[in-house]
Structure 1
Amino acid sequence: MSVHEAISKHSTQQHLHLVRFTELDQQREQAIDEAVDLCKRGLPFTVNRINAITEAIIAHAKHGISPLRSYVTEDMVRDYVAKL
């Protein structure tokens, strides 16, 4: 394999890694929005879906260059809604 092919392959792998991170991050943001909406309306909510996606992001980051995300607590959602 030539140097050019190796660099091209590596670049493609990094790009695909970041594409997957973006997909997961968008899912996480949607889950956060849903929890915030429920909290605003005074309805019960959990952060289970948010943190399941966060766990997937953390696992994914171990295999590439994507950033990490923090786990979310219900208190964090309540505090955010209180500041709105």
Structure 2
Amino acid sequence: MSVHKELAQHAEKMNGIYKTYLQFDQQREVYIEEAVQLCKQGLPFTTRKINEVTNQINRLNLRFVPFKKNVTPEMVQEYVEKIKNKDA
């Protein structure tokens, strides 16, 4: 196999992985927003779905994308408090 063909295949593979990353990242943001909205309303929420997607993102092992931290309920609560204080 020629080097050019190998490089093209590698680039195609990396592009596919990056597209998957973008989909996961978008879904993660949706889950974070859901948790924030529930927290704002004083309703119970979980970070389970956020962290499942976060773990999938981190398993992609893209070297040019920073490792994402798992989100705790306390992190969501702190964020909501920060928003409330900012708006007050």
State the TM-score, normalized to the length of structure 2: 0.86
Q: Percent same amino acid at aligned positions?
A: 40
Letter in 1 for 2:40: K
* Structure 1, unpaired ranges of 5+: none
Q: Which residue does 2:15 correspond to in 1?
A: 15
CA distance in 2, matches of 1:19, 1:8: 16
Where 2:28 maps in the other structure, the secondary structure is: helix
- Map 1:27-38 → 2, pairs under 5 A: 27-38=27-38
Classify 1:66/1:53 alpha carbon distance in 2 versus 1 (closer, same or farther; 3 Å): farther
Q: Is the 8 A contact 1:18 1:65 kept in 2?
A: no
Letter in 2 for 1:82: E
* Structure 2, unpaired ranges of 5+: 84-88
Question: RMSD across aligned C-alpha pairs, in angstroms?
Answer: 1.2
Q: Which residue does 1:81 correspond to in 2?
A: 80
Letter in 1 for 2:28: R
- Map 1:42-53 → 2, pairs under 5 A: 42-53=42-53
Runs of 4+, deviation exceeding 4 Å: none
Q: Is the 8 A contact 1:14 1:65 kept in 2?
A: no
For residue 65 of structure 1, report the CA deviation from its aligned partner: 3.5
**Structure with bigger RCO (C-alpha 8 Å, 6+ apart):** 1
Letter in 1 for 2:71: V
